[in-house]
Amino acid sequence: MDTGIQYLKGVGEKRAQLLEKELGIRTVGDLLHLYPFRYIDRSTIVPIANVQPDLAQVQVKATVTKVRLYAKNGAELPPEKLKFNMVSRLSAMVSDNTGEMEMVFFKGVKWMYQRLVPGHTFIFFGKPAVFGTRLNMVHPEVDAPDSGTTGVLTGVYTSTERLKNSGFTGKVMLKLMATALDGVLPTLEETLPDYVLKEKGLVPLSYALRQIHFPQDQSALGKASYRLKFEELFLLQLSLLKQKYIRSRSIQGLKMPLVGEPFNRCYEALPYQLTNAQKRVIREIREDMKSGHQMNRLLQGDVGSGKTMVAVLTALIAVGNGYQACIMAPTEVLAQQHFANVSKYLAPTGVRVELLTGTTGIKDRRRIHEGLRDGSVGVLIGTHALIEDTVQFRALGLAVIDEQHRFGVDQRARLWSKGFGGIHPHVLVMTATPIPRTLAMTLYGDLDVSVIDEMPPGRKPVQTLCVGENKRHAMHNFIREEIAKGRQAFIVYPLIFESEKLDYKNLELGYEEIVKAFPLPDYKVAIVHGQQTPAEKAFNMDAFVAGRANILVSTTVIEVGVDVPNASVMVIESAERFGLSQLHQLRGRVGRGAERSYCILMRGYKISKESQKRLDLLCETENGFVLAEEDMKLRGPGDLEGTQQSGLPISLNIASLAKDGLILNDARSYAQLILDKDPGLTAPANAPLTAELRRDKYLVKDYSQIS
Ligand code: ADP
Ligand code: MG
């Protein structure tokens, strides 16, 4: 398996270089781990009577009845003309006992004319089509009936233009695979222990490799692919869980045994009851913080599920144990809002809370820095500004990071280094972008995950509808009605980085249109976007939050966190340009007050089927996890929010996080079972596992260190 690919018969230096460059294949093993991405089913022969032009590819067995040659202008030519290269098309009529069809060739006509002798029978394989009223196939593959190509599933491999141009056709790939298998299989070492194969009912590796490339039938292919998928997911989970185990053993955490006075005072003064989900999550967090292990917890909860309260109470546990806490928000606006809310909650506790952002003045900054150093500031709220080097805590015990996917890895790492006495602070990462379970298990396999899966009482469902341009007037009228009831409306424009200019133009045009439709003095429209100064932004934002403006026109800067319970309408322009999770987050901005709320998705003229599907889904459900799962199925895990910036830290060869959730669950619990019995994987029976985990593929980036 580790032999260089250049030594494989039929490859050589030059082709080896190309294989490495184009597909990253360096060894025979790499080649064999390139699995077909689909199979051509040549196991059935279709009677011509059943051939439909919408079938992808079919195979017919038919006898040639008549062959004709045509010139460019369509005139029929006698066979003598073949010599003079005047023939531009060959048409062969073929029939089985159910019907007749035409096989058409524009290239290689001389050779085909010799081959397709009337009265002879062949297997034709290709894509059926209709020309006029006649069923035909253009350039089918032609094989003799006894050539052995029938009765098999033929693998199709990914390729590139350059590979194809250098002669790596499908047939050549298959040949290389066959050579590689013949060389490797006799001495192939099994990668999974015997007991694993037995307990999980898996086929041996040699069988799986042979069948994945050259399946004898569907059932063998199914067994092979199951084995390979299971192995891939199982080893990945084993690697992640092992890391988690090692971390919980080796990394010390700050011990915080008390609930503390500040927590209790705040809790008693709460204007509402915590939901059961909030209570459960706080219990989970508390267990972590008193354990002496460093907490590394991801808190997932839909928009409006009450994560802020959890952050506040968590911060107060740290304060109650003599430490400081910081809460980091991704935007200035959000940091300000957190500050306003948290100050309110902390009032009964006497804990000093400060806000530090990019716009904090020098004087205040100095005062805050001092308070952090002498420990008089208990809770610091801020943006990136709070991880600057000049910020020093006396005893940072907890860092809460809101909307984690907006922070870069480096920034998170810097926060880590501010821990007390060289000990990492406890870390609570909060996100409103639900990550599908399968993805969370893989991305954050070594983090603990808490979920708030319950909304505070009083939240009404948001009625969501998707409309086109023809409803724009109706939409304006509807907003007027809501404003007449004393409500407010958000109107959001997409902002896509690559065409920032264009987007602002859209936003400006949109703003003009809205101002015209909602003129002063009856209506006031605020606008917020990324090119404003922080002061302009704050001014407009405040006007809307305080209810002085009826409408807020904005780019997605408002998407995270802002709380305006009085807003009852969310209009999203060019909704098809947003991801599902993002749309869901935006929608979460309304439905916070007591009134009925609406989300109106304005769709563009030309939108793809897939986009429409996403919008329909949004109209159907308000469950963020369901949406995240579906988004992953539609777009694949690599495109999901939360993974775009970092990219998936792993690459899977055969398993799919979107489709193989069941196998993943099974693989994970089985990996856990094995580690429970043998945490170090030192038992002789587990030696093959230890060997496999050393492969690059399973050395997953350690997210626990950087979150
Ligand atoms: P998110 O999870 O999106 O950060 P927030 O923490 O901003 O949600 O909470 C949304 C709203 O719900 C806030 O106005 C908050 O005061 C309110 N809230 C939070 N928890 C509860 C609760 N248990 N009962 C009632 N209202 C709550
Ligand atoms: Mg929030």
Reduce the secondary structure of 371-438 to three states and give it as a string.
HHHHCCCCEEEECHHHHCCCCCCCCEEEEEEECHHHCCHHHHHHHHCCCHHHCCCEEEEEECCCCCHH
pLDDT in tens, 472-525: 999 999 999 999 999 999 999 887 555 566 666 778 888 999 999 999 999 999
DSSP state of 293: B
Are the folds of 261-290+305-431 and 463-621 the same?
yes
Under the banding of pLDDT at 50, 70 and 90, the label for residue 674 is: very high
Best CATH choice for the domain 463-621 from the list 1.20.1250.20, 3.40.50.300, 3.40.470.10, 3.40.50.150 = 3.40.50.300
Residue whose CA lies nearest to ligand 1 atom number 1: 304
Q: Write down the pLDDT at residue 559.
A: 47
Find out whether the beta carbon of 563 lies less than 6 Å from any atom of ligand 1: yes
**Closest residue CA from atom 20 of ligand 1:** 306
Ligand 1 contact via 652 beta carbon (within 6 Å) = no
Going along 132-285, which residue ranges are E strands?
Answer: 134-138, 141-143, 153-156
Residue boundaries of the structural domains of the chain = 5-40+159-187, 44-150, 261-290+305-431, 463-621
Take residue 359 and report the two structure tokens written for it: 């716009």
pLDDT digits (tens, 9 = 90+) for 612-631: 988 999 999 888 878 877 87
Query: Most confidently modeled of 16-20, 150-154, 198-202?
Result: 198-202
The angle formed by the CA atoms of residues 244, 250 and 252, to the nearest 5 degrees, is 105
Q: Is 308 in the pocket of ligand 1 (CB under 6 A)?
A: yes
Separation CA 368–CA 375 (nearest Å): 10
Residue 56 in this model has a pLDDT that exceeds 50: yes
Q: pTM of the entire structure?
A: 0.65
Tokens of 607: 């939108």
Q: What is the pLDDT of residues 183-226, one digit of tens each?
A: 999 989 999 999 999 999 999 999 999 999 999 888 999 999 99
pLDDT of residue 147: 65
* 75-79, 230-234, 577-581: range with highest mean pLDDT: 230-234
Residue 703 pLDDT more than 70? no
Q: What is the CATH superfamily name and number for domain 261-290+305-431?
A: P-loop containing nucleotide triphosphate hydrolases (3.40.50.300)
Superfamily of domain 44-150: Nucleic acid-binding proteins (2.40.50.140)
> Looking at residue 642, what is its pLDDT?
45
Distance of CA 227 to the CA centre of its chain: 24
pLDDT tens digits for range 67-83: 999 998 888 988 888 87
- Residue 593 CB less than 6 A away from ligand 1: no
Q: Kindly state if the Cβ of 585 falls inside 6 Å of ligand 1.
A: no
The per-residue pLDDT for 22 is 87
pLDDT one-digit tens code per residue, 417-475: 666 667 788 989 888 777 777 777 676 666 778 889 888 887 778 999 999 999 999 99
* Mean pLDDT, residues 346-369 taken together: 94
Phi/psi of residue 532, nearest 5 degrees: -80, 160
Strands of the sheet with 551-554, listed across from one edge? 462-467, 597-602, 567-572, 488-492, 551-554, 525-528
Instruction: Give nearest CA residue, ligand 1 atom 18.
Output: 306
pLDDT band at 641 (very low <50, low <70, confident <90, very high): very low
Percent of the chain having pLDDT more than 70?
90
* Stretch among 4-13, 220-229, 359-368, 626-635 having the lowest mean pLDDT: 626-635
Question: Ligand 1 pocket: which of 341, 343, 345, 563 to mutate (most atoms <8 Å of CB)?
Answer: 563
Q: Which of 303-317, 343-357, 592-606, 680-694 has the lowest average pLDDT? A: 592-606
